[in-house]
């Protein structure tokens, strides 16, 4: 009988600082806990019923007597707190060295190499920034001068924004290919084309975004599943994160709500692994330090959770986790080095879930998926269910 597992990543929903948080300047961070403290009407009854409040280190959320899911938390073994590092560890890749970020902007050698190799008259920006904000700030100057807007974020990414009426898409993509050869050897994980249209103050990013991603350096559990004939579906930015490797299908999402809709639709028409990233928590509310918006997004997901579980067949797995933290009450706009939650639903199980403790690595998810689908996989420790 074909099996199905659904893995949902609540992007950046951390549950408390890791022991090495001081190395990252993140002492005291607690994304979920601080949101619960800051927002008086915050409540996630459906996640609580699964066992969210039973997870160690979340005193802000009340536990339940008989959680319906297995519950625990995971520590990140790899060094870093970015999207790629977390997602790579899920599927069995634990780099020895972290990707490099440039919170103060890219160094002169990188910018000069980019200017020389592309022939652009210079660049605008060159700092860590919100994409929508920096386009609003520098879009008019870009149109006037033709200089591309270059910026980064908390992730190890080199982003290039350009107006589609000023820079043809083919040119923008070529610039990204040139930038890729410059920055990937210097520790970046992605180059992203960020085209936009419109007039000030109504600039709008378009769907012509394109990611140039450093591929996983070795085989992943996704590759192993696919080779075994198991269908693997990525929803949201999953395809970009893995450089489109190990995935049978990729579906782009426009929001958390759309990502959930696509996930439920896929549960209805396919087996195998359905792997979803819900990015709004991180992109719209964590980086922008908006606890209210973050809380509303979490409660919206909580309201959708019963529909996800209802769509599953008996014997299916639902795994809910996160890839890092991004505490919206913490100083700065960076990710935070935190534990992540782990909730595993076995559809049809009537006994209460059991505690999973603190897992030593995110790679335990990949090991568990491999065992569930009957595929040999050596990285991580299989989580014992049942």
Which of 213, 176, 21, 244 is closest to 99 using CA atoms? 213
Cβ-Cβ contacts under 8 Å for 63 (sequence gap 6 or more):
48, 51, 53, 54
Residue 23 assigned ligand-binding role: no
How long, in residues, is the chain? 386
| Residue 336: DSSP 8-state | B
Residue 293: CB atoms within 10 Å: 16
Cβ-Cβ contacts under 8 Å for 36 (sequence gap 6 or more):
42, 60, 61
Which of 275, 386, 302, 246 is closest to 6 using CA atoms? 275
Token pair belonging to 318 = 């639902």
Residue 280 assigned ligand-binding role: no
Which of 51, 17, 46, 19 is closest to 33 using CA atoms? 17
Q: How far apart are CA 109 and CA 23, in angstroms?
A: 27
Give the angle subtended at the CA of 320 by the CAs of 249 and 264, to the nearest 5°.
50
Which residues face 191 on adjacent strands?
A: 158, 212
Cis before 260 (ω within 30): no
Residue 335 assigned ligand-binding role: yes
Cβ pair 193, 346 in contact under 8 A: no
Residue 287 assigned ligand-binding role: yes
Tokens 């994160």 belong to 241
Q: How far apart are CA 259 and CA 252, in angstroms?
A: 8
Residue 79 assigned ligand-binding role: no
In terms of DSSP bridges, do strands 232-235 and 272-278 run parallel, antiparallel, or are they unpaired? Answer: parallel
Token pair belonging to 67 = 């959680």
Tokens 């660049």 belong to 123
Torsion of CA 72, 36, 277, 128, to 10 degrees: -120
Residue 34 assigned ligand-binding role: no
- Binding-site members for Mn(2+) are 11, 282, 287, 323-324, 335
- Binding-site members are 11, 282, 287, 323-324, 335
């Amino acid at each position: 009988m074909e099996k199905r597992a659904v893995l949902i990543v609540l992007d950046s929903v951390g549950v408390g600082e890791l022991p090495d948080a001081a190395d990252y300047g993140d002492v005291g961070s607690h994304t979920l806990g601080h949101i619960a403290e800051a927002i008086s009407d915050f409540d996630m009854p459906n996640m609580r019923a699964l066992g969210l409040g039973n997870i160690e280190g979340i005193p802000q959320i009340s536990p339940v007597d008989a959680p319906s899911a297995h519950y625990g938390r995971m520590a990140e073994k790899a060094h870093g707190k970015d999207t790629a590092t977390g997602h790579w560890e899920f599927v069995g890749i634990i780099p020895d060295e972290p990707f490099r970020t440039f919170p103060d902007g890219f160094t002169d050698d990188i910018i000069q190499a980019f200017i020389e190799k592309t022939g652009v008259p210079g660049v605008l920006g060159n700092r860590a920034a919100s994409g929508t904000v920096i386009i609003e700030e520098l879009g008019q100057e870009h149109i006037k001068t033709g200089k591309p807007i270059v910026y980064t974020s908390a992730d190890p990414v080199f982003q290039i924004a350009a107006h589609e009426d000023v820079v043809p898409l083919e040119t923008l993509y070529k610039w990204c290919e040139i930038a890729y050869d410059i920055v990937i050897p210097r520790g970046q994980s992605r180059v992203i084309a960020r085209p936009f249209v419109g007039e000030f103050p109504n600039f709008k990013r378009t769907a012509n975004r394109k990611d140039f991603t450093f591929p996983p350096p070795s085989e992943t559990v996704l590759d192993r599943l696919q080779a075994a004939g198991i269908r693997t579906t990525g929803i949201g930015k999953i395809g970009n994160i893995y450089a489109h490797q190990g995935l049978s299908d990729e579906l782009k999402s426009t929001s958390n709500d759309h990502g959930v809709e696509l996930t439920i639709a896929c549960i209805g028409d396919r087996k195998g692994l359905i792997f979803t990233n819900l990015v709004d928590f991180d992109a719209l509310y964590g980086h922008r330090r908006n606890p209210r918006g973050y809380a509303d997004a979490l409660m919206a997901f909580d309201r959708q959770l019963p529909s996800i579980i209802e769509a599953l067949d008996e014997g299916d797995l639902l795994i809910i986790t996160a890839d890092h933290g991004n505490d919206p009450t913490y100083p700065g706009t960076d990710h935070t080095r935190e534990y992540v939650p782990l909730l595993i639903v076995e559809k049809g199980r009537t006994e209460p879930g059991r505690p999973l403790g603190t897992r030593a690595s995110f790679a335990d998810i990949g090991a568990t998926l491999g065992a569930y689908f009957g595929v040999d996989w050596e990285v991580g420790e299989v989580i014992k269910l049942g």
